[in-house]
A and B are shown apart, each in its own frame.
Chain A
Amino acid sequence: MLIYLLLLDTAEERNKFEQLYNRYRYTMLYTANSILQDQGLAEDAVHDAFIRIAKNFGKIGDVDSPHTRGFVVVVTKNVALTMYNRQKGIVITEDESAMNHVADSNADDIFSRISYESIVQQIISLPNIYKEVMYLCLVNEMKIKQVSQLLHLPEETVKKRLQRGRKVLAERLEKEGITYE
C-alpha cells in the first residue's frame, strides 16, 4: 500500500518507544558503528532504525526481553549494512549458487538427525542476509510481509531468503559431518 499511517496511538505506546530509545540506543550505536566504523554514519543508522521500528511498533513486546533486543539489533544491523553497501557501491544480489549447493535431500530430513547445539552454531555462522530474516520470522514471529516492510525488501526476496537460509543451514550441517543423533 502506498499510504499508511505512522501510528503510536496511545500514551502507553509512546512511552514504550521512549523506553526503547533509552534502553537500546547505545547497543544500536555499537552495532552500527561496528559495521560502518564511523560514529556519524552510525548515528544516522540508529536514527533510521528507530524510524523503521516506529513504523513496525506492533511487533515490540516487552522492552527488556531478549527478543526485543534481538529485534532492534537486527534492524540496526540491516540499516547499517544497507548504508555500508550503498557507500561502497555494493549491490546485493540473491545468491543463486546457494540454492545449487544444496543437496537434493529434503532439509527437514537433515534437521531431524543432527544435534541441537550444532544447529545453534550453524545458525550463528549463516550469512547475515539469511540470518536476519530467520530471526525476524522465527523468533519475533513476524510475517513475510512485515519483514519486507521492516527491511525494505520485496516480499518475494524475504521468502526466498528464508527458504535459502534453511537450505544452506541444512547443507552446512551435512557437510560438517556432524554426528547425527
Chain B
Amino acid sequence: MSKDILKKAAADAMEKELSYIPSEKELSGQYTFSESFLQKMESLFRYVDRTYMDIRGILLKREHILVFLLAAFNLAVLAVSTATGIKWRDIRFICSIGTLIILSFFAPKKDKDGSSRQQEEDFGGSYMRRHAPAMIDTSGVDPSPYPYRRYPRKELEYIIPIVPQDYSVEKDIRSASTHIVEFRDIAGRSLTYEKRLLKDAVLVTVDPYAVKAEEFILNGCDAICFEKDGETHILWEDKYHQLYLHSADSKDTLMQTAEKIPVEFV
C-alpha cells in the first residue's frame, strides 16, 4: 500500500474518531471553566505575547537573554584576544560586529501591517478589550491587564459618588488604589461599586459561550455590560480609573445608576 493511501486512511480514521466528540457548542452547555483556569489562560495569552525563552523549563524574558548573550560574547572575545594578543582596535571591531548581529536577532519583529509587538493594542491588550469581565483577579499576580500601557499618576479619592435609590451603604473598603462600596436595600439585595486606579485594574476575561457581553459607550467611556449568575455587571474606564458596578438589578436599572457616576477625562 502506498503511503498516500495510508495517509488518507489515517485522516479518515481521525475524522471518524472525532465525530464521536460532541460539538463545541453542545459541550459549552455541559462545562463551565473554573476561574483559576481562565486566569491561567489569561496569563498564557500574555506569556505567548511577551515572548519568553524556555531553558529546561526556566522561563527567561527576551531582554534577560539579550543582556546575558552580549555579556558572554564580549567577555569571550576579550578572553580570546588577551590569550592570542590581538590588537585592541580589532577587538573593538569584533565586539561591535558581534553586538550588532545579536541585537538584530533580538529586535522586535514587525507585523505585516508594520506595527511592532510592543504596541499597546497587542494580543493581550486586545484580548482583554474584546472580552467582557467574568472573573476578577485579586491574587496580586501580574495584576495589570494592559502590560504596555503607561499610567497617568493619580491619587485615588474615596468619594461615594451616589447612593442608589432604596439602598444604604453597608461596607466601605479602601486601599491605596481601590475603593469598594457595598450597598444593601431593605429586601437584602446588594449592589457593589468598585473604583480602581488603572494601574491596578482587575484582570478580566469572559467565556463567550456562557456569557453574552455588550459593549457600549457610557458617559463617553468604553463600557461592557454582561449578565452572569443572576447578576448584572457593568465595567467601564475613564482616563484614570476602572469603574465596576454589579448587582441583581436589571440591566436598565443598573445602567441608570452607572450613568450617574461621574467620570474624569482631564
Contacts and interface: CB of A to CB of B under 8 A. Distances in A.
Contact of A40 (B7, B12, B34): B34
A97 interface: no
Interface in A72-131: 73-74, 108, 110-112, 116, 119-121, 123-124, 131
A6 B51 contact: yes
A11 B123 contact: yes
B80 interface: no
Contact of A25 (B33, B36, B48): B33
Contacts of A50: 41, 44
B166 interface: no
Interface string B19-50: 00110100110110110110011001101110
A67 interface: yes
B142 to A, nearest CB: 16
B213 to A, nearest CB: 13
A47 B37 contact: yes
A139 interface: yes
Contact of B14 (A17, A46, A139): A139
Contacts of A134: 10
Contacts of B9: 116, 119-120, 123
Q: Which label, helix, strand, loop or mixed, suits the secondary structure of the B interface?
A: helix
Nearest to B32: A39
Contacts of A179: none
B173 interface: no
A111 B123 contact: no
A51 interface: yes
Given A5-B51, A14-B49, A120-B13, A47 B31 contact: no
B10 A123 contact: yes
B112 A10 contact: yes
A166 B1 CA distance: 11
Contact of A12 (B3, B15, B34, B112): B112
A21 B42 CA distance: 11
B18 A43 contact: no
Contacts of B113: 11
B55 A73 contact: no
Given A43-B37, A111-B6, A70 B15 contact: yes
Which of B11, B30, B53, B122 gathers the greatest number of chain A CB atoms within 10 Å? B11
B48 A4 contact: no
Nearest to A135: B14
Contacts of A112: 1
B252 interface: no
A29 B31 contact: yes
Interface in B117-137: 117, 122-123, 127
Given A26-B31, A124-B17, 14 more contacts: A3-B53, A6-B48, A26-B27, A26-B30, A39-B34, A43-B37, A55-B54, A70-B15, A70-B18, A119-B6, A120-B16, A135-B13, A138-B6, A139-B14
Q: Give the 8 A-B CB pairs with smallest separation, nearest first.
A: A111-B1, A14-B123, A26-B27, A123-B13, A43-B37, A138-B10, A70-B14, A119-B9
